[in-house]
Each structure stands twice: as structure tokens, then as C-alpha cells.
Structure 1
Amino acid sequence: MEKNKLIIFAKQPELGKVKTRLSESIGEEKTLKIYLELLEITKSVTYSLDIDKIVYWNHLTEVLFGGFGSGYRAEVQEEGDLGWKMQIAFQNEFQTNPNKVLIIGTDCPFLTTEILHKAYQSLDQTDFVLGPARDGGYYLLGMKEFSPYLFHSIPWSTKDVLSLTLAKIQNHAKTVSLLEELDDIDDINDFNYWKSLN
């Protein structure tokens, strides 16, 4: 068994192409600064983990952010919807027979290193681990073996993502651990809530 892995899904920080719902309220330039801050938070909470860390970018470029630096491998997301992108990423990473694999995005400033440790530990007891997001999705998914059915027939970016994923796990007679519920930063209300806590 290889050591545990962490997949990080990220977009290159390009003006007008990140957090578009938020940019409708505060403008593209301020939104880009916020997205760069979210990337730095994601790096800060994952950097110390003694695992294989792989950033799956929407595309690679040397001109922009490019990567998280040493300790992170860079890959490119597959073309398709979010489910297909995640399915192929998990498939790629399970080819080397790791122990456990988690996936996160870069939208959750409330994620902590401790939560990630807890997610890996949870997989000692259950087949899957999920971090519920308040909008009905999830900020984290983890598994011990490649399970592509979790990504099929899910209406991504809707309030039903988590409930339908849990139903799929139950239908396959598998077990799941749930982490604490956290907020993603998608729109101005999420952003205002986050900044009100700082």
C-alpha cells in the first residue's frame, strides 16, 4: 500500500473565470483577490500533511499561479462535468494502490488540518467519509477503494448533491462517516458570513 493521498481540485486564478457568482456582487478584481486568498488557505491547511498531495488544475500554466510549490504534484482535470472530472481523478490516483484517498476543493476557508486528519481516521471505521457543506453539497469526499458510482446521475451544484450521494452509499450497502458541516464561499452571503468571523 502507498501512503494516503489528497486530491485538490483548483482553478487557475484568472480574472473573470473564478467564483463568478461572487463576482456579480463585488466585481472580478476583488473576487480574484479572494480566490487567491482561498488558494493560500487551502495550501496552509494541507502543507504539513505527510501524504501525497495532487492538485488537479482546470488547466496548467507557467504564467499564473501554476502550483502550490514543492510537496504538491500538478495534474490537469479531465474534460466533462464535475462528477466525471472527480471520477477520473480518483481512478488515476487509485492505480498506485494507496491506502485512502480524499478530495477537496479550494472554496472552504473553514477547513482545518485537524478535520483532514479526522477524515483519514474515519476511513478506518467506514467505507466513505463526507464533509457536508451548508448549501447541500460536500466540501470533502474520501474512500478506500475506487467507487465510480458515487459520481453518476448527480445534479452537481445543487442542494441535492449530498443527499443523493448518501443514498448511493446506502444503496450499495456501504458505510459512511460525516464530518462537521462547513460553509463554502460561493456568493456574497457566504463571503459576508466568512468575513464577519474575522
Structure 2
Amino acid sequence: MGSNKLIIFAKQPELGKVKTRLSVSIGEENTLKIYFELLMITKAVTSSLDVEKIVYWDRLTEVSKFEFGSEFKRQVQAVGDLGKKMEVAFHNELQEGTGKVLIIGTDCPFVTKEILLDAYQRLDNSDFVIGPAKDGGYYLLGMKKFSPFVFQSIPWSTSEVLSLTMTSIEKNNQTFSLLAELCDIDDLDDLKVWKGSDY
């Protein structure tokens, strides 16, 4: 699996800049702690994965408040909406032509190494692999050939992202495989799913 890659989209962990929907309910400091925890979970789950790992930060800083480690390369996300950012990242990482590329964020504490390995395996028989999120989006997307159409004409951060992405794939006569549905942590209800009723 040496030629396979994992893209991780992350935000610099700064007060008031992460998980703004959640911070309305629990405050900015608690939200930042939660975000650090999500970053640590993402690092723990992906560290031992035998693929090339590239963290695409929202911006690069001289001194980062969180380091994934030396085995993770660092890049910066492109300018534009989420679709444009992902499109450019996939374009960058699929240029060499071989291998399978997955993208995840840092919002889903339920992703496991086994889910990621399964996602790579599913790309043997499908053009795309998608990890559906309970909010109608997705927590993972994978492909083995650069296919920018999956990022176009999608209303990001809405409940239609997953269904429109699947429709787009089918319209282009491609196939996809769906992983288990998981919960992203975006608001207080999601946090309660993860942490129980402590919040």
C-alpha cells in the first residue's frame, strides 16, 4: 500500500476559530478543548496507517499548536469553498497517477483504522468510496483517478451533500461503495452522541 495516500483536512486550533456552531452552546474554550481532542484522535487513528499522509491545514503557521508528527507531510488548503479545496488537494495527490487517495477531516471521532483500511480495499472494486455522515454529508471520500466532477455544483454544509454526490457519480457512469454511517461533531446534539449527557 506504499503508493496510497491519506489527505487530512484540519484547522489550526485557535480560540474562536474552530467549531463555531458548537461554541455557541458550550463556549469557545470548551470548544477548543474538544477540537484538540478530535485532532489527537485523528492522529492516533492514522499514525500507524501504512500510507503517505498529508495534513492540509487551513493555513500554515510558524509555530503550530498541534503537530501530527514527522511522518505527516504539511500542506495548505487552496482558496475557495470546501469543494474547491478538496478538488485541488486530490489533484495534487493523484498527479503521480498510481494508488488510491482518501480524504477525511478531523470532525469524526468514530473513524477507526479498520474503517480506513476497508475504504482502501473497497476502491479495488469501485471508482469511489464514501463514508456517509448522519447530517447528510460525508466524513470520508476516496478515489483512484482524479474526478473533479464530484466537487462541482454541490451546496456544501447542507444535508444534500451526500445524495447529490452519489447522483453526480452515477450521472458520470461511475460506481461507489458506502461505508458505515457515522456522526460528525458539529453541534451540541452531536457532542452528546459522542460524550453522553455530560454537556
If the length of structure 2 is used for normalisation, what is the TM-score?
Answer: 0.96
Alpha-carbon distance change, 177 to 60 in structure 1, aligned in 2, over 3 angstroms: same
Structure 2 CA distance for aligned equivalents of residues 65 and 54 of structure 1: 17
Q: In 2, distance between residues paired with 1:64 and 1:5?
A: 23
Q: Which residue in the other structure is 2:91 paired with? A: 91
The whole-number CA distance in structure 1 between the counterparts of 2:188 and 2:102 is: 28
Deviation, structure 1 residue 64? 3.0
One-letter identity of the residue aligned with 1:95: Q
Aligned to 2:129: 129
SS in 2 for 1:34: helix
Inter-partner Cα distance in structure 1 for 2:27 and 2:197: 22
**Runs of 4+ more than 3 Å apart:** none
* Higher alpha-carbon deviation: 58-67 or 101-110: 58-67
How far the C-alpha of 1:66 sits from its partner, in A, is 4.9
C-alpha distance in structure 1 between counterparts of 2:116 and 2:44, whole Å:
12
After TM superposition, give the deviation of residue 98 of structure 1 in Å. 3.2
How many residues are aligned here? 198
Structure 1 position 83, deviation (Å): 0.1
Sequence identity of aligned pairs in percent?
67
Structure 1 position 73 matched with structure 2 position 70 = no
Q: Return 152-161 or 95-104, whichever deviates more.
A: 95-104
State how far apart, in whole Å, the 1-side matches of 2:23 and 2:149 are. Answer: 34
Deviation (angstroms), 1:103: 0.2
SS at match of 1:131: strand
Query: d(CA) in 2 for partners of 1:109 and 1:160?
Result: 22
Give the Cα separation in 1 of the matches to 2:110 and 2:197.
11
CA distance in 1, matches of 2:197, 2:75: 34
Pairing 1:29–2:8 present = no
- Quickly say closer, same or farther: Cα 1:197–1:72, change in 2 above 3 A: farther
Q: Give 1:84's aligned amino acid.
A: K
5+ unaligned residues in a row in structure 2: which ranges? none
- Give the Å deviation of 1:197: 9.0
Task: For 1:139 and 1:98, locate their aligned partners in 2 and report how far apart those are by CA, in whole Å.
Answer: 23
| Matched residue SS, 2:59 | coil
Q: 2:118 matched to which residue of 1?
A: 118
Aligned Cα root-mean-square deviation (Å): 1.4
Give the match for residue 150 of structure 2. Answer: 150
Superposed displacement of residue 95, structure 1? 1.2
TM-score by length of 1: 0.97
- In 1, are the aligned partners of 2:129 and 2:179 still within 8 Å (CA)? yes
Q: Does the 8 A contact of 1:55 with 1:73 survive in 2?
A: yes
Alpha carbons 1:55, 1:67 under 8 Å: kept: no
**1:140-177 deviation digits (Å, cap 9, x = unpaired):** 00001000000000000000000000000100111100
What secondary structure is seen at the aligned counterpart in 2 of 1:98?
coil
- 1:54 aligned to 2:29? no
Q: For residue 43 of structure 1, what is the aligned residue in structure 2?
A: 43
Distance in 2 (alpha carbons) for counterparts of 1:5 and 1:65:
24
